[in-house]
């Protein structure tokens, strides 16, 4: 039964013999948030909240507007750009990000693009503008892989300090010609060497408590700038597998937290949709073929390539298309109009609730891994009776308690008619036997532990004379 937000589960009762049910997994002080806990929490969110969590959006112009939009639209995360870092010192940015988190019902993923070199948001900060945030390519040339990894570690530590918990890096793309658009942002080596770099750098970044993101799946190659317009790659799939996909496979094997999908049309996989909007690319290749289980996020949906595609195909909502393709998160600022469009798509059966909640689960799993979620908010205290023996003079029951942050040796007290009839110290497992004497009257039971009360539907029957 439900009582004060807690639950008591009676699994079995019998007269004169034991009825044994499967022992629940329960422990005093369980602070590990499970997938089941996350699913339960997501199911309790409203549809607007579930949809809002899918948006990782550029922070609006003022802190006041950021906090307002985070609360109103239930945004899952924010992206900080150069202007956000220019606004003040590292300390002031840290305080600002903390105020954004305070406005959120569910803690935010706070992201940025800190690749180093030409894409370095930290270089815009008054506190860090004199630090050499070199690109991985330049760091490797200056001091080899050890220098690259040292730079990655410093970068992640610095981001973590100011409140950024998700970096849109490292670049897993390989460009064979130095004249290619993406070349300067790449590792500057071949496919196998880039794969080795990705394999090593991902754990270094993520050990600092900052999620890493491979980009731009399935590989940028020699394509033009999708910020400004349409781009496509005609490379045969067999060649993509042997070359471009190698660094991404290495990152997946290394447990990378996120993968960003490019807007390039990969003709060998899908000759119609940009990769970021392609079910064949995202669900077919990345999920099913490569077995990736982490967060998949689009590249910015406000970029030129997507604007051209939307206009050419008269698509009412790019965000809906991204979710249909299998993206977990949309990198967009159009949440004010996109949330209603996604709700309409749910009502029209263009999207399913499962698609939304599955995407939410991937994002919540990342938030949990990064330590953003509090066990007390996600683990529901429970008291379960898993075995019951009724004898002539007494009743014995096995009790299992799950309660976040409670300590072993916490007392569990049992009351009948407001009278204390038993008390025991809970072991670390949370499982203990209680014993109640049968009296001449039926006795309703109440359990109290660590300031919480569980009223039971189980009544101890009157003694048999």
Question: Would you please indicate which residues are annotated as catalytic (active-site) residues?
Answer: 227, 299
Sheet with 77-80, edge to edge strand ranges: 166-167, 109-112, 77-80, 55-58, 330-331
Distance set, CA 120 to CA 127, 162, 174, 209 (Å): 13, 15, 19, 19
Cβ–Cβ contacts within 10 Å for residue 424, how many?
16
Q: Which two tokens stand for residue 167?
A: 């970096």
Residue carrying the six token digits 């807007």: 263
Half-sphere exposure of 62 (CA within 13 A, CB side): 3
What per-residue string of b and e applies to 172-187 under the rule 16 or more CB within 10 Å gives b?
bbbbeeeebbbbbbbb
With beta carbons less than 8 A apart as the criterion, state whether 439 and 464 touch: no
- Dist CA 149 CA 135 (whole Å): 11
C-alpha distance across the termini of the chain, in Å: 31
Note whether 214 and 198 are within 8 A (CB): yes
Tokens of 456: 């039971």
- Omega of the bond leading into 138 within 30 degrees of 0 (cis): no
């Amino acid at each position: 039964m439900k009582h004060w937000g807690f639950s008591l589960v009676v699994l079995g009762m019998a007269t004169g013999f034991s009825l044994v049910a499967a022992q629940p997994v329960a422990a005093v002080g369980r602070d590990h948030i499970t997938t089941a806990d996350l699913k339960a929490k997501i199911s309790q969110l409203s549809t607007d909240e579930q949809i809002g969590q899918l948006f990782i959006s550029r922070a609006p112009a003022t802190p006041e507007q950021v906090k307002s939009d985070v609360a109103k639209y239930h945004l899952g995360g924010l992206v900080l750009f150069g202007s956000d870092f220019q606004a003040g010192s590292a300390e002031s940015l840290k305080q600002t990000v903390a105020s954004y988190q305070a406005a959120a019902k569910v803690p935010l993923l706070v992201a940025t693009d800190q690749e180093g070199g030409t894409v370095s948001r930290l270089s815009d900060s008054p506190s860090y503008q004199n630090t050499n945030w070199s690109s991985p390519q330049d760091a490797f040339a200056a001091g080899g892989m050890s220098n690259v990894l040292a730079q990655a570690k410093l970068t992640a530590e610095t981001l973590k300090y100011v409140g950024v918990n998700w970096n849109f890096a490292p670049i897993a793309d390989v460009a064979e010609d130095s004249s290619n658009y993406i070349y300067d942002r790449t590792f500057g080596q071949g496919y196998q060497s880039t794969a080795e770099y990705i394999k090593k750098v991902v754990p270094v970044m993520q050990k600092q408590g900052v999620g890493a993101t491979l980009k731009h799946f399935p590989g940028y190659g020699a394509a033009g700038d999708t910020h400004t317009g349409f781009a496509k790659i005609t490379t045969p799939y067999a060649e993509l597998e042997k070359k471009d996909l190698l660094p991404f496979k290495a990152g997946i094997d290394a447990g990378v937290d996120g993968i960003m999908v490019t807007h390039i049309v990969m003709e060998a996989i899908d000759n119609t949709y940009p990769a970021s909007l392609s079910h064949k690319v995202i669900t077919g290749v990345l999920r099913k073929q490569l077995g990736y289980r982490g967060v998949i996020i689009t590249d910015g949906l406000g970029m030129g390539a997507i604007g051209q595609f939307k206009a050419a195909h008269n698509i009412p909502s790019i965000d809906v298309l991204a979710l249909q393709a299998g993206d977990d998160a949309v990198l967009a600022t159009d949440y004010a109009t996109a949330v209603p469009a996604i709700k309409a798509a749910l009502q029209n059966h263009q999207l399913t609730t499962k698609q939304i909640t599955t995407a939410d689960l991937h994002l919540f799993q990342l938030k949990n891994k990064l330590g953003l979620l509090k066990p007390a908010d996600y683990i529901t205290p429970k008291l379960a009776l898993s075995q019951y023996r009724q004898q002539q003079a007494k009743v014995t029951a096995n009790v299992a308690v799950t309660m976040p942050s409670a300590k072993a040796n916490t007392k569990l007290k049992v009351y009948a008619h407001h009278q204390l009839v038993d008390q025991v110290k809970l072991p670390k497992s949370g499982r203990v036997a209680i014993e109640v004497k049968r009296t001449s009257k039926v006795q309703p039971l109440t359990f109290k532990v660590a300031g919480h009360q569980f009223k039971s539907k189980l009544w101890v029957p009157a003694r048999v004379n």
